[in-house]
Amino acid sequence: MCGIVGYIGEKQAAPLLLEGLEKLEYRGYDSAGIAVEDNSGNIEIMRAKGRLSCLAEKTRCGKALEGCCGIGHTRWATHGEPSECNAHPHFNDGQTIAAVHNGIIENYTELKKKLLKRGYSFYSETDTEVATKLVDYYYEKHGDPVKAIANFTLRVKGSYALAVLFKDYPKQIFAVRKDSPMIIGVTKKEALLASDVPAILKYTKNVYFVENSEIICLEAGKAVFYNLDKEELEKTPVKINWNAESAEKGGYEHFMLKEMHEQPKVVKDTVSYYTDGEKINLNRSGLTGRTIKKIKNITIVACGSAYHAGVVAQYVIEKLARIPVRVELASEFRYREPVADKNCLVIAISQSGETADTLAAVREAKKLGMKTLAIVNVVGSSLARVADGVMYTYAGPEIAVATTKAYSAQLIAEYLLALKFAKVRGTVSAEKYSALLSELNALSGKIESILNNKAEIQRFAAEAANKKTMFFIGRGVDYAACIEGSLKLKEISYIHSEAYAAGELKHGTISLIEDGTLVLGVLMQQELLEKTLSNLVETKSRGAYVAALTYEGMNKAKEIADVQLVVPQTYDVFAASLAVIPLQLFAYYLSVLKGNDVDKPRNLAKSVTVE
Ligand code: F6R
């Protein structure tokens, strides 16, 4: 959701800005632009609607803009249609200030009116042009970029990551952020700014995470951080353990395919990090035995696939640890005036750690005095900093918009929590605990074996390619896997699908089943098998084309299903980890067959930093 980059150093900025923006493409965008300060100190801007390749063509791969200091932007339209005119960077009236912005300025209409009265004119429909001219207004007033930006932050409502070039301050980039991510990297002779780590990994692994309302002044080889009173701040960089190659396709056709194939490793790494033989150690997340014993109930907040991972956690934690769990969409939790409960642990799940609603939900929970824990993938992200405790997932950078490996790592974190809670609270026997823990170690190999046998799923996808709609049904954890499978399908193949708790189908939706409708049943919960099978039969007798996703050797499904897909056996509580793999692959192959942009599906953004 909009990407920002900035570069100041000895090299030509424009090609590096384009390269950095490419690394942020996954965030989603519909236009792009760069501003470079040329050798005579003028700021030049070039923008283009559409893919980065259009901007690259227009700028002759950056050669058309000469200079060693610049800012770049990929825009995901919020205010005003995707167009060259609305694309960033934006200029002030005198073309002496250029800015890029990520986020939403909520009071931009009011600010625009004020600026119009003061004689400013506007050429675009964007809130960013308003932001640029507001900075200009305060710069004219105070004659100092840091003071201008400080005044800007006091006047503006909403979220922003803003990077600004001032013609009067050559070879410097000024920036600020509130509730939109921004990171800084400094090398000996360069300084870089970006919305996310992959854009600067090639240059440095030491990253400064900018806090809300911190103002930064970048010069080659230097970053100075200020508070709103222009007092200098001491900041320490965080070491990122990702390498630049982990953000490359590595020979795979798509990032999504690569990331699905990384799942065995991701699962193994996440399990290993928190276990030591027979012990699960969550101390680093702030969860000691004493804290765990105090928890009376759990609320999970998240969005999208992370929410779906939360639905799995609800089943697993309740089953193993006997703690009541409620899962909520973060966007609902934040506004429903939740009741304060000091014994409630609020768990926020997020890959990026920057999702606006999830962050707001955690802030709300903290305001109400509840203890918060973040299950998050990006080290040092906003969520990781806001929550009381953090349990990192070890998925590495995830580039494809549709999450796969981060979701799988989230499931592992949840299983570890469930098992640890169960152990501390004495709700599982020592034998069961050991058996479950050893199965947790075996999951990685089982996922690998599914990935090694994907031809069957590819064939099934080819059969399903002409379907207009599909149903996924299951019960318990299988239902949780269904909602994720259905989302994957919708987001990348653009085929409509519904995920239903199998028992709920005949309360209305079964009316949609007609001749040839594809119904895929996930059948891994042993105790509920007969029930879900009956539900599949009900759809088949109404003309459905039935597929069953089961454990190996589940012969009963063969009698009913037109197609059977199998995965190795596991404990039912861990079933989602295996069920989701064929569902991800199914969505992937359908997307490829339809010629879609698998890694960057239409209208979607990887990191949703606005509400
Ligand atoms: C779907 C997907 C999204 C994210 C959601 C939350 O494939 O990736 O639904 O899960 O936007 O994002 P994070 O996990 O970054 O908070």
Ligand 1 centroid – CA 26 distance (Å): 12
Single-letter code of the amino acid located at 113: K
Q: What is the mean pLDDT of residues 118-125?
A: 93
Tens of pLDDT, residue by residue over 508-560, are 889 999 999 999 999 999 999 999 999 999 999 999 999 999 999 998 998 89
Whether the predicted pLDDT of 79 surpasses 80: no
In the numeric block, the tokens 């606006």 are attached to: 356
Q: What is the mean pLDDT of residues 81-108?
A: 91
DSSP secondary-structure letter at 514?
A: -
Predicted confidence band at 181 (pLDDT cuts at 50, 70, 90)?
Answer: confident
Is-contact 521 546, C-beta < 8 A? yes
In the numeric block, the tokens 């170690």 are attached to: 441
Ligand 1 centroid – CA 564 distance (Å): 29
Whether the predicted pLDDT of 39 surpasses 80: yes
Ligand 1 centroid – CA 86 distance (Å): 27
Whether the predicted pLDDT of 1 surpasses 70: no
User: Quick one: how many helices (H) and strands (E) in the chain?
Assistant: 19, 27
Choosing from 147, 371, 423, 606, the catalytic residue is: 606
CA 57 remoteness from chain centre: 29
Tens of pLDDT, residue by residue over 580-597, are 999 999 999 999 999 999
Q: What is the mean pLDDT of the chain?
A: 94
Q: Which atom of ligand 1 is nearest to the CA of 303?
A: 6
* Strand ranges inside 179-249, DSSP E: 183-186, 191-194, 206-209, 215-219, 222-226, 232-233, 238-239
Q: Which atom of ligand 1 is nearest to the CA of 410?
A: 14
Whether the predicted pLDDT of 462 surpasses 80: yes
- The Cβ of residue 97 has, within 10 Å, a number of other Cβ atoms equal to 27
Whether the predicted pLDDT of 246 surpasses 80: no
Distance CA 326, CA 391 (A): 19
Distance CA 528, CA 288 (A): 35
Query: 122-126, 482-486, 606-610 — which is least confidently predicted?
Result: 606-610
* Residue with more model confidence, 404 or 238: 404
Ligand 1 centroid – CA 43 distance (Å): 37
Q: Which atom of ligand 1 is nearest to the CA of 304?
A: 9
Choosing from 2, 69, 344, 482, the catalytic residue is: 2
pLDDT on residue 277: 82
Share of the chain above pLDDT 90, in %: 82
Pocket probe mutation, ligand 1, options 179, 196, 255, 305, max atoms within 8 Å of Cβ: 305
Q: Which atom of ligand 1 is nearest to the CA of 383?
A: 16
Ligand 1 centroid – CA 1 distance (Å): 12
Tens of pLDDT, residue by residue over 130-162, are 999 999 999 999 999 999 999 999 999 988 999
If you take atom 16 of ligand 1, which residue's CA is the nearest one?
A: 350
Query: 79-88, 345-354, 436-445, 481-490 — which is least confidently predicted?
Result: 79-88
Q: Report the relative pairing of strands 325-329 and 297-302 from DSSP bridges.
A: parallel
pLDDT on residue 169: 97
Q: Which atom of ligand 1 is nearest to the CA of 608?
A: 11
Pocket probe mutation, ligand 1, options 355, 375, 381, max atoms within 8 Å of Cβ: 355
Whether the predicted pLDDT of 307 surpasses 80: yes
CA quadruple 469, 470, 476, 480: dihedral sign: negative
The set of protein residues with a Cβ atom below 6 angstroms from ligand 1 is: 303-306, 350-352, 355, 358, 402-403, 487, 491, 607-608
Is-contact 368 338, C-beta < 8 A? yes
Give the per-residue SS3 of 326-393: EEEEHHHHCCCCCCCCCCEEEEEEECCCCCHHHHHHHHHHHHCCCEEEEEECCCCCHHHHHCCEEEEC
Query: Which is nearest to 98 in space by CA: 166, 153, 189?
Result: 166
Q: Residues 115, 118, 123, CA angle at the centre, nearest 5°?
A: 50
How is 64-80 classified by DSSP, letter by letter?
TS--SEEEEEEE--SSS
If you take atom 7 of ligand 1, which residue's CA is the nearest one?
A: 402
Is-contact 321 427, C-beta < 8 A? yes
Domains in the chain with CATH codes: 3-246 (3.60.20.10), 251-451 (3.40.50.10490), 455-593 (3.40.50.10490)
Q: Which atom of ligand 1 is nearest to the CA of 401?
A: 8
Pocket probe mutation, ligand 1, options 351, 381, 580, max atoms within 8 Å of Cβ: 351
Ligand 1 centroid – CA 196 distance (Å): 15
- Concerning whether 54 is annotated as a catalytic residue, the answer is no
Tens of pLDDT, residue by residue over 219-229, are 999 999 999 99
- Concerning whether 606 is annotated as a catalytic residue, the answer is yes
Q: What is the mean pLDDT of residues 255-260?
A: 96
pLDDT on residue 180: 86
If you take atom 3 of ligand 1, which residue's CA is the nearest one?
A: 304
Ligand 1 centroid – CA 568 distance (Å): 27
Q: Which atom of ligand 1 is nearest to the CA of 351?
A: 14
Ligand 1 centroid – CA 107 distance (Å): 27
Give the per-residue SS3 of 384-444: HHHCCEEEECCCCCCCCCCCCHHHHHHHHHHHHHHHHHHHHHCCCCHHHHHHHHHHHHHHH
Ligand 1 centroid – CA 413 distance (Å): 16
Single-letter code of the amino acid located at 411: L
Q: What is the mean pLDDT of residues 272-282?
A: 91
What residues have CB less than 8 Å from 208, skipping those under 6 apart?
Answer: 183, 184, 185, 186, 223, 225, 235, 236, 237, 238
Query: What is the helix (H) or strand (E) element at residue 556, kind and residue range?
Result: helix 555-560
